[in-house]
Amino acid sequence: MNITIIGSGYVGLVTGACLAELGNTVFCLDVDARKVAMLNGGEVPIYEPGLKDIIERNRAAGRLLFSTDVKAGVAHGDIQFIAVGTPPDEDGSADLSHVLAAARNIGRHMDRFKVIVNKSTVPVGTVQRVRQAVAEELAQRDLPRLEFAVVSNPEFLKEGSAVEDFMHPDRIVIGVEDNATGTRAQSLMRAVYAPFTRNHERTFYMDVISAELTKYAANAMLATRISFMNELANLADKVGADIELVRQGIGSDPRIGYSFLYAGTGYGGSCFPKDVQALSRVAARFGHTLNVLDAVDAVNDSQKRVLAEKIVDCFGDDLSGRTFALWGLAFKPNTDDMREAPSRVLIRELLTRGARIRAHDPVAMPEAQHVLARDFADAPRLLEHISYVGRSMDALTDADALVIVTEWKAFRSPDFAAIKAGLRQPLIFDGRNLYDPAQMREAGIDYRAIGRSSRMPSPPPLPSCEPIAGAHNAAWS
């Protein structure tokens, strides 16, 4: 099948490469000539395990094409996937300008029936807006009867395992309109995803509005679980509980499960932060308030500062003369994505307080340097106090403490004796709860994680037990 992917960002590249891997001829269209030249030259602008190999293999086979030629892209694909960015506007709502621009380009150039697929994460009602944009362009060309269908097909890819997620999906959601063109579109979409449903049916067909809401609802639910556990972890620190034991205790309930119950420094990336805010804005447009999601967002913003607060509690507000080894920059492992990464908040807090940072990340250091240059455009001299090292243990040199922000596998089983010897003092601030507190005590390391307090705090004063005036209790006599 001939398929066009509009947008060669994260979702577009993974979708295009994986569909080509299944034997389709895929035309990846992007307006960024530099990115297209990079891809045609064998480079991949993002880090995602397995993606580069798939792109190289299918480019060599002639099944995967990259171009800036809009007319050729529209002509190529019977199915046109729109996979462009939907960044947040100033008020947090999704910016649909790129989606609608792609729709208008399709309307300007199409000459036969097309299925237009919203793959981008978009708010409720976007299918109707895409349909209107295409129809307006066709009307200007005196082709108002040229048929097309608009489909909602949200992605459920996890960065770091996106190729695996696409090739082995747990569900495929397709929203189609209830009319003749919708039926025709459903038939074509069933053919596209047939390789994924040979063993059992994974496809959920529904109306377009439900499909659009499903994507936001899924991310909002996962974000809620994360913020809920972070709230409990902060309480665990105060009462002396171990949040990891709590996680095991509640996760064993099959109604709850273990996924996304890990406490840490908050969520980041391109999806959860903007999707939670965008869903709240959708609700506001309809006069409804999503109180839970507003709280989820607020908790996450606060949680990104927890590590800095622990460091300040230990060393004081003025961190001048202090150096911190920082393990992990990307918002999660197996990616170089720095969008909304908790490390950015921590780095600003440490540098503005006078600290120096020696940072290591297995893949994200080049992207981090680029992003932090923008973050510190107001104070570029502060960036002179952060250095990047190629090996994790080298970051410990002259450091007062080790701070862990990203849970890369390479950080899970380090040489604790070497860590203790390398630091000025044996102190670890762990934002991802990678280690066992008991093991750290045995190793002689002061270990400060999220919700894993090993101390029993002094209990708060009990309420007064003075008897009510006039009452008689033999026990007090």
Residues tagged active-site: 271
**CB-based contact 70:105 (threshold 8 Å):** yes
**Which tokens sit at 296?**
């989820």
In the block, residue with structure tokens 């026990």: 475
Residues 81, 11: Cα–Cα separation, whole Å: 10
